[in-house]
Structure 1
Amino acid sequence: MARSSSGFVAGLTAVAVAAVCFLAYQASANAPANPSADPRTPNSAAPSVSPSGGPRKPAENPLVVPADSGSGARVVYALADRRVWLVDAKGKATRTFTVMPSTVHPVPGAYSVTSRSGSVRGSDGVQIEHVVRFATTQDVAIGFSAAVDGSTPAPDASKKTGGIRMKRTDGDALWTFAVIGAKVVVVA
């Protein structure tokens, strides 16, 4: 009997070790590459706190377009929320989605789409598509894009890049919506 008990205990121990290893792997896969690095540059316009100093609360209804984003047809990019809205001429959001900002951020304000590229290699070396550029900050072109492989990783904080990454389906929608001259409004 003692022999079968020790086998049972060994089996339970093996299962417990495997579970701990799996959880450790999941945690490491979701951890930032450099936890001590600030993903924002010193001149970043993306506040992480509310005006009162506390942490920002996520929007209750993400379809609600930020009130300080103007009027008419436009792309609205909220820096702190990491969210984009495609807004029709009547001021109604036709689509909204989250994005992964890069290390250099545009200053809040109104811009126009200045150039577009169907497919290029990003400054981070990743093949990207549906690039929609609208600003330049710190001598870095700022624009929306989608990685061809569908990834939206956190940017390398050691590089100055301006690509605002999104999922490919969101990139398709933005590409169709944001033609040359289209209005882009950046809000804090």
Structure 2
Amino acid sequence: MARSSSGIVAGLTAAALAVIGFLGYQASASAPAHPPKAAAQAPAPAPADPGTAKADPGKPVAVPAGSGTGVRVVYSVGAKRVWLVGAADQEPKSFAVMPSTVHPAPGSYTVGSRSGTVTGSDGVPIEHVVRFATAEGIAIGFSARVDNTVPAPDTTKKTGGIRMTRADGDAMWAFATISSKVVVVP
């Protein structure tokens, strides 16, 4: 009888550990939160932005003329920059981004879908995906690589991820919810 009970106990213990391991994996795979600051890697530098290299870093970069009015995300393909334009009494947040190989046409769009964490079309883990357009059959959206790097895209592939640092991705995620307005300018 002792042998039979110890086999059952061992089986139940193994099953419980497997369930705990699976639930832990599920929680870590779906949680877009960053590791604590002490354990976090140094952030990668933001992509170079030739349009603001000569600008005073203490002064905000002006929102492009002709980008509309009201609360919106403004994305300038040519300047490789995004503005999160909130209420009239708030200073817009602006940051450099790295466009992908497929670009949306200039115009007004709305955020149609979001994903906390997924694998990007380039095969790397990404988070805070905010999709707003389709071009050439490719979904276009903002995202941050989980490894916090912002490399130039592989020009041999058609991808639509507009990449930014994780900190900027956090700001985009909080600002651009479903149905938010996104204005693309040249």
Q: Settle same-fold status: TM greater than 0.5.
A: yes
Equivalent residue number for residue 100 of structure 1: 98
- Which structure 1 residue ranges, 5 or more long, are not aligned? 1-55
Distance 1:166 1:99 in 2: 5
Distance 2:154 2:132 in 1: 22
Aligned pair partner of 1:132 in 106, 130, 133: 130
> What TM-score does the superposition give when structure 1 sets the normalisation length?
0.67
Contact 2:51 2:79 in 1 (8 A): no
Distance 2:70 2:164 in 1: 23
Equivalent residue number for residue 115 of structure 1: 113
Contact 2:82 2:96 in 1 (8 A): yes
Equivalent residue number for residue 86 of structure 2: 88
Q: Which moved more, 1:82-91 or 1:154-163?
A: 82-91
Aligned pair partner of 1:184 in 162, 173, 182: 182
* Amino acid paired to 1:173: A
Helix, strand or coil: the match of 1:89? coil
Contact 1:127 1:148 in 2 (8 A): yes
Q: Aligned-pair RMSD on alpha carbons?
A: 1.6
Distance 1:102 1:108 in 2: 15
> What TM-score does the superposition give when structure 2 sets the normalisation length?
0.68
Aligned counterparts, 1:14-33, within 5 A: none
Kindly indicate whether residue 144 of structure 2 is the aligned counterpart of residue 142 of structure 1.
no
Identity %: 62
- Following superposition, the deviation at residue 57 of structure 1 comes to 5.3
- Which structure 2 residue ranges, 5 or more long, are not aligned? 1-49
Equivalent residue number for residue 21 of structure 2: none
Aligned counterparts, 1:147-186, within 5 A: 147-186=145-184
Distance 1:171 1:115 in 2: 15
Distance 2:91 2:105 in 1: 22
Contact 1:126 1:147 in 2 (8 A): yes
Aligned residues: 133
Distance 1:136 1:71 in 2: 23
**CA distances 1:46-101 after superposition (whole Å, capped 9, x unpaired):** xxxxxxxxxx8548454311111000000000111000000013175431100000
Equivalent residue number for residue 27 of structure 2: none
Contact 1:86 1:93 in 2 (8 A): no
Helix, strand or coil: the match of 1:70? coil
Going from structure 1 to structure 2, the CA distance change for 1:62 and 1:106 (only over 3 Å counts) comes to farther
Distance 1:118 1:140 in 2: 19
Going from structure 1 to structure 2, the CA distance change for 1:92 and 1:109 (only over 3 Å counts) comes to farther
